[in-house]
Structure 1
Amino acid sequence: MIMKFYQLSRADRLTWLKQAGYLTDESEQRLLAQTPLAEAVLSAMVENSLSEFGLPMGVADHFLIDGHEYFVPMVTEEPSVIAAASNGAKRVAASGGFQTVEVSHLLKAQVIINGVTNQVSLTKRLTDAQSAIETVVIEAHPSLQKRGGGLRQIEINHFADGYSELALWIDPVAAFGANMANTIAEAVGTYIQQALLKKDEQVLAAVLSNSGEKMTVTVTCQVDFTQLATAEFSGQQVALKIAALNHYAALDIDRAATENKGILNGIFAVGLATGNDLRAISAAVTDYLCGANRPVLSTWQLDQHAEVLRGRLTIPLPVGRVGGAINSLPNAQVSLELLQHPSVETLMSIIASVGLANNLAALRALVTNGIQAGHMALQTANLAIQAGATGEEIGWVQQQLNQHQPANLALAQQLLQQFRNRG
Structure 2
Amino acid sequence: MTAPIEGFSKLGKEDKIRWIAQHYTNNSEDTIAILKQYWHSDPKLQNLHDEFIENTITNFYLPLGIAPNFLINNKLYAIPMAIEESSVVAAASKAAKYWHTRGGFKATVLGTEKVGQVHFMYEGDTEKLGHFFKRVQPKLLESVAAITKNMEKRGGGIRNIALRNKSADLENYFQLHCTFETQDAMGANFINSCLEGIAETFKEEAQLYDAFTQQEKDLEIVMSILSNNIPNCLVRAEVSCPVTDLKAQDGMEPMDFAQKMVRAVNMAKVEPYRAVTHNKGIMNGIDAVILATGNDFRAIEAGAHAYAAKDGQYTSLTHASIDDGIFKFWIEIPLAVGTVGGLTNLHPLVKLALEILQHPTAKELMQIVAVAGLAQNFGAVRSLVTTGIQQGHMKMHLLNILNQLGATESEKHKLIAHFKNHTATHSAVVQAFNELRSKK
TM-score in terms of structure 1 length: 0.85
- Cα distance in 1 for residues equivalent to 2:373 and 2:119: 34
**2:28: which partner in 1?**
none
1:410 aligns with 2:430: yes
Structure 2 SS opposite 1:196: helix
- For 1:281-302, what per-residue CA distance to the aligned partner results, in whole angstroms no more than 9, with x for missing partners? 1111122122136611010111
- For 1:113-169, what per-residue CA distance to the aligned partner results, in whole angstroms no more than 9, with x for missing partners? 102422222222222222222222322343222322111122221112111111121
- Cα distance in 2 for residues equivalent to 1:375 and 1:67: 30
**Equivalent runs, 1:256-271 vs 2, <5 Å:** 256-271=275-290
Contact kept, 8 Å, 2:166 with 2:174, in 1: the verdict is yes
**Equivalent runs, 1:235-254 vs 2, <5 Å:** 235-254=254-273
- For 1:78-124, what per-residue CA distance to the aligned partner results, in whole angstroms no more than 9, with x for missing partners? 22111111222222222212212333222212111102422222222
Which stretches in structure 2 are left out of the alignment for 5+ residues?
Answer: 1-39, 208-215
1:82 aligns with 2:89: yes
Q: Which amino acid aligns with 2:206?
A: L
- Cα distance in 1 for residues equivalent to 2:425 and 2:309: 40
1:166 aligns with 2:166: no
1:240 Cα shift? 0.5
Q: Which amino acid aligns with 2:175?
A: E
- Cα distance in 2 for residues equivalent to 1:268 and 1:55: 13
- For 1:194-249, what per-residue CA distance to the aligned partner results, in whole angstroms no more than 9, with x for missing partners? 01354331211111111122222112211443233333311111000000111111
Q: Which amino acid aligns with 1:107?
A: K
**1:186: which partner in 2?**
196
- Cα distance in 2 for residues equivalent to 1:58 and 1:416: 31
**1:317: which partner in 2?**
335
Contact kept, 8 Å, 1:388 with 1:413, in 2: the verdict is no
- Cα distance in 1 for residues equivalent to 2:389 and 2:42: 36
1:65 Cα shift? 0.9
1:371 Cα shift? 0.8
Which stretches in structure 1 are left out of the alignment for 5+ residues?
Answer: 1-32
Deviates more, 1:286-295 or 1:308-317: 286-295
**2:316: which partner in 1?**
296
- Cα distance in 2 for residues equivalent to 1:125 and 1:99: 47
Q: Which amino acid aligns with 1:375?
A: H
- Cα distance in 2 for residues equivalent to 1:232 and 1:44: 54
**1:285: which partner in 2?**
304
**1:63: which partner in 2?**
70
Contact kept, 8 Å, 1:91 with 1:223, in 2: the verdict is no
1:105 aligns with 2:82: no
Residue from 375, 381, 402 that aligns with 1:357? 375
Deviates more, 1:315-324 or 1:115-124: 115-124
- Cα distance in 2 for residues equivalent to 1:416 and 1:233: 36
CA RMSD of aligned residues (A): 2.2
1:416 Cα shift? 6.2
Q: Which amino acid aligns with 1:164?
A: F
Q: Which amino acid aligns with 2:437?
A: Q
Structure 1 SS opposite 2:54: coil
Contact kept, 8 Å, 2:294 with 2:344, in 1: the verdict is yes
1:412 Cα shift? 5.8
1:55 Cα shift? 0.9
**Equivalent runs, 1:382-421 vs 2, <5 Å:** 382-391=400-409, 393-408=411-426, 410-411=430-431, 413-414=433-434, 417=437, 421=440
Structure 1 SS opposite 2:217: coil
1:393 Cα shift? 4.5
**1:222: which partner in 2?**
240
Deviates more, 1:389-398 or 1:248-257: 389-398
Deviates more, 1:366-375 or 1:209-218: 209-218
- Cα distance in 1 for residues equivalent to 2:436 and 2:112: 52
- Cα distance in 1 for residues equivalent to 2:265 and 2:160: 36
1:347 Cα shift? 0.3
- Cα distance in 1 for residues equivalent to 2:62 and 2:110: 30
Aligned residues: 386
Contact kept, 8 Å, 2:67 with 2:79, in 1: the verdict is yes
